[in-house]
Amino acid sequence: MGRLSTFVLLLSFCAVVASGDARRPNILFIVTDDQDFATIGAYGGNVLTPNIDRLAKGGMKCTRGYCTTSSCAPSRYGIMTGRLASRCSSKEFKAVNPPGSQAYITNDAIELEPDRPTLAKVLRAGGYRTGFTGKWHLGPHHNAPIGIKKISKVKKLGEPDVDATLRENQQAISAYFKTLGFDYTAKVYWDNVGEWAGHVEGLDAQNLEWTVQGASDFLDQQTADQPFFFWFAPLQLHNPCAAVQQFAPLVGSERITPAGLLEHIPQVMPPRETIYTRLSAAGIPGQVSQEQACMNNGTDYCLWLDDGVGAVLKKLEEKGLAGNTLVVFFSDNATWGKFHTYERGCNVPLIMRWPGKIQPGSVSDALIANVDFAPTVLAAAGIEPPEDLCTDGVNQLPLLTAGVPVRKDVVLEFGCTRSICDGQLKYIALRPTDEDRVFEKKNGLVAGHWGAREGLERFKGLLGWREWHEKHYPAYYDEDQLYDLSKDPDEQHNLAGNPEYADTLARMKKMLSEKTKGMDRPFGEF
**Boundary residue ending a domain (353, 375, 406):** 406
Looking up residue 336, the CATH number of its domain turns out to be 3.40.720.10
Indicate if 419 and 300 belong to the same structural domain. Answer: no
- Is there a contact between 240 and 248 (Cβ–Cβ < 8 Å)? no
Indicate if 434 and 499 belong to the same structural domain. Answer: yes
Phi-psi region of 388 (alpha: psi -120 to 50; beta: other; left: phi over 0): left
What's the domain count of the chain? 2
432 pLDDT above the threshold of 70: yes
> Who wins on pLDDT, 116 or 450?
116
Indicate if 236 and 328 belong to the same structural domain. Answer: yes
Of 203, 116, 120, the closest CA to residue 165 belongs to 203
- How far CA 335 is from CA of 47, 87, 126, 258, 371, in Å, comes to 16, 25, 36, 25, 20
- Is there a contact between 190 and 148 (Cβ–Cβ < 8 Å)? yes
Indicate if 285 and 360 belong to the same structural domain. Answer: yes
Q: Which amino acid is at 26?
A: N
> Who wins on pLDDT, 60 or 241?
60
Indicate if 351 and 380 belong to the same structural domain. Answer: yes
> Who wins on pLDDT, 377 or 154?
377
**Poorest-confidence range of 26-35, 103-112, 119-128, 313-322?**
103-112
> Who wins on pLDDT, 410 or 9?
410
- In-domain check, residue 76: yes
Indicate if 401 and 505 belong to the same structural domain. Answer: no
For residue 132, count CB atoms less than 10 angstroms from its CB and return exposed for 0-12, middle for 13-18, buried for 19 or more: buried
**Boundary residue ending a domain (371, 386, 406):** 406
Please state, rounded to an integer, the average pLDDT across all residues of the chain: 89
Regarding beta strands 347-353 and 60-66, do their DSSP bridges make them parallel or antiparallel, or are they unpaired? Answer: antiparallel
Phi-psi region of 374 (alpha: psi -120 to 50; beta: other; left: phi over 0): alpha
- The Cα 66–Cα 84 span in angstroms is 12
Give 347's DSSP letter: E
Specify the pLDDT at position 252: 79
Of 402, 421, 403, 397, the closest CA to residue 411 belongs to 421
| Phi, psi angles (nearest 5°) of residue 451 | 65, -150
Indicate if 87 and 200 belong to the same structural domain. Answer: yes
Indicate if 515 and 429 belong to the same structural domain. Answer: yes
- In-domain check, residue 526: no
- The Cα 433–Cα 507 span in angstroms is 24
Summarize pLDDT for 244-270 with one digit per residue, the tens.
445 545 677 899 999 999 999 999 999
Indicate if 66 and 98 belong to the same structural domain. Answer: yes
| Phi, psi angles (nearest 5°) of residue 391 | -60, -40
> Who wins on pLDDT, 474 or 19?
474
- In-domain check, residue 15: yes
Cis peptide bond upstream of 237, omega within 30: yes
Summarize pLDDT for 460-516 with one digit per residue, the tens.
666 677 788 888 999 999 999 999 999 999 999 999 999 999 999 999 999 999 999
- In-domain check, residue 524: no
**Poorest-confidence range of 216-230, 290-304, 372-386, 503-517?**
290-304
Looking up residue 443, the CATH number of its domain turns out to be 3.30.1120
Specify the pLDDT at position 5: 43
Q: What angle do CA 460, 465, 467 make, to 5 degrees?
A: 105
Specify the pLDDT at position 493: 98
Specify the pLDDT at position 285: 80
**Boundary residue ending a domain (353, 388, 406):** 406
- The Cα 275–Cα 249 span in angstroms is 10
Q: What share of the chain is helix, strand, coil (3-state, %, to 5)?
A: 40, 15, 45
Question: What domain range is 456 assigned to?
Answer: 412-519
Specify the pLDDT at position 494: 98
| Phi, psi angles (nearest 5°) of residue 515 | -75, -35
What residues contact 369, with CB distance under 8 A and at least 6 apart?
A: 65, 66, 67, 68, 78, 393, 407, 410
Element (H, E) at 463: helix 463-472
- The Cα 211–Cα 383 span in angstroms is 29
Indicate if 121 and 237 belong to the same structural domain. Answer: yes
- Is there a contact between 427 and 524 (Cβ–Cβ < 8 Å)? no
pTM attached to this predicted model = 0.93
Instruction: Report the half-sphere exposure of 424 (CA within 13 A, side-chain side).
Output: 3
21 pLDDT above the threshold of 80: no
Specify the pLDDT at position 22: 53
Summarize pLDDT for 268-317 with one digit per residue, the tens.
999 998 998 999 999 988 666 655 555 556 788 899 999 999 999 999 99
**Poorest-confidence range of 46-50, 121-125, 259-263, 433-437?**
433-437
For residue 408, count CB atoms less than 10 angstroms from its CB and return exposed for 0-12, middle for 13-18, buried for 19 or more: exposed
Indicate if 417 and 399 belong to the same structural domain. Answer: no
- The Cα 411–Cα 67 span in angstroms is 10
Helix, strand, or coil here: 216?
helix
159 pLDDT above the threshold of 90: yes
Helix, strand, or coil here: 519?
helix
- Is there a contact between 511 and 90 (Cβ–Cβ < 8 Å)? no
19 pLDDT above the threshold of 50: no
